[in-house]
Chain A
Amino acid sequence: MALSCIPSASVAAGPLSFSQQAHLRPAGEHGPALARDPVVRYAGVSRSFVPGLFVVDNLDLDVERGEFITFLGPSGSGKTTTLMLLAGFELPDAGRIHLDGREIQSVPPHRRNIGVVFQNYSLFPHLTINENIAYPLRVRRMPAAEIEDRVRRALDMVKMSGFGTRLPSMLSGGQQQRVALARALVFDPPVILMDEPLGALDKNLREHMQLEIKAIHERLGATFIYVTHDQSEALTMSDRIAVFDSGRLSQIARPETLYNNPANLFVADFMGDNNKIAGRVTRIEAGAAQIVAGDGTELCCQVGPGIAQDAAVVVCIRPERLAIAAPGEVAPNVLPVTVSKLSFLGDHYRLYAANRAGEDVVLKLGSRNRPDDCAPGCQIAIQFSPRDCLVFPA
Chain B
Amino acid sequence: MSSIALVEYRRLASARVFRRLASFGLLLPALLLLFLFFFIPIGYILFNSVNNSEVRTAFPRASVEAARIVTGKPAHPAFYDALAEDFSTLKDTRALGEAARRLNYEVVGYRTVVLKTGRTFGSRPAGRGDNAARFAEIDERWTQPDFIAGFTRATRLLTPYYFLRALDMREDDSGDVVRVGEDVRVFVATLLRTLEISGSVTILCLLIGYPLAGCLVILPRGLSALLLFSVLVPFWTSILVRTSSWIVVLSKEGIINSTLLKLGIITEPMQLVFNRTGLYITMVHVMLPFMVLPIYSVMRSVPKTYLRASLSLGAHPILGFWKVFVPLTMPGIASGCLMTFIITVGYYITPTLVGGPKENMITYFIAFFVNDTINWGMAAALGTMLLGIVMALYFTIGKVVGIHRIVGLK
Contact = CB atoms under 8 A, between A and B. Distances in A.
Contact of A122 (B305, B314, B317, B323): B305
Interface in A320-357: none
Interface string A97-119: 00000000000111101111010
B308 A113 contact: no
Contacts, number: 64
Contacts of A113: 314
B306 A187 contact: no
Given A116-B309, A139-B319, A126 B314 contact: no
A187 B309 contact: no
Nearest to A180: B309
Interface in B305-321: 305-306, 308-317, 319-320
Interface string A130-154: 0000011001100000000000000
A393 to B, nearest CB: 42
A89 B308 contact: yes
B43 interface: no
A126 B328 contact: yes
Q: Which 10 A-B pairs have the closest CB atoms?
A: A136-B313, A116-B312, A122-B309, A139-B315, A109-B311, A122-B305, A110-B311, A126-B327, A139-B314, A136-B314
Given A122-B303, A125-B328, A126-B327, A135 B308 contact: no
A118 B314 contact: no
A120 interface: yes
Contacts of A140: 314
Contacts of B311: 88-89, 108-110
B312 A135 contact: no
A214 to B, nearest CB: 22
A124 interface: yes
A88 B310 CA distance: 13
Contacts of A242: none
B327 A118 contact: no
B404 to A, nearest CB: 14
B268 to A, nearest CB: 50
A133 to B, nearest CB: 10
B312 A87 contact: yes
Contacts of A114: 312
A115 to B, nearest CB: 7
Nearest to A183: B313
Interface string A43-61: 0000000000000000000
Interface of B is mostly: helix
Contacts of A88: 311
A122 B315 contact: no
Contacts of A136: 313-315
B306 A124 contact: yes
Contact of B306 (A122, A183, A184): A122
B220 to A, nearest CB: 14
A122 B308 contact: yes
A187 B313 contact: yes
A111 B313 CA distance: 9
B324 interface: yes
The interface size bin for chain B is 20 to 34
A390 to B, nearest CB: 40
Interface in B271-311: 303, 305-306, 308-311
Pick from B308, B311, B313 the residue with the most CB of A within 10 Å.
B313
A118 B324 contact: no
A109 B319 CA distance: 13
Contacts of B330: 126
Given A124-B324, A126-B327, A135 B315 contact: yes
A180 to B, nearest CB: 8
29 contacts: A87-B312, A89-B308, A108-B311, A110-B311, A110-B312, A110-B317, A113-B314, A114-B312, A115-B312, A116-B312, A118-B308, A118-B309, A120-B305, A122-B308, A122-B309, A124-B309, A124-B310, A124-B328, A126-B324, A126-B328, A126-B330, A135-B313, A135-B315, A136-B315, A139-B313, A139-B316, A183-B313, A187-B313, A187-B314
A123 B313 CA distance: 11
Contacts of A118: 305, 308-309
Given A89-B311, A110-B310, A183-B313, 5 more contacts: A87-B308, A87-B312, A122-B303, A124-B306, A124-B310
Interface in A171-200: 183-184, 187
A101 B117 CA distance: 105
A119 to B, nearest CB: 8
Nearest to A113: B314
A89 B306 CA distance: 13
A109 B312 contact: yes
B295 to A, nearest CB: 16
Contact of B316 (A89, A110, A125, A183): A110
Contacts of B306: 122, 124
A79 B319 CA distance: 29
B168 to A, nearest CB: 43
Contacts of A89: 308, 311
B303 A120 contact: yes
A125 B319 CA distance: 17
A235 B366 CA distance: 77
Contacts of B328: 124-126
Contacts of A183: 313
B406 to A, nearest CB: 15
A21 B175 CA distance: 105
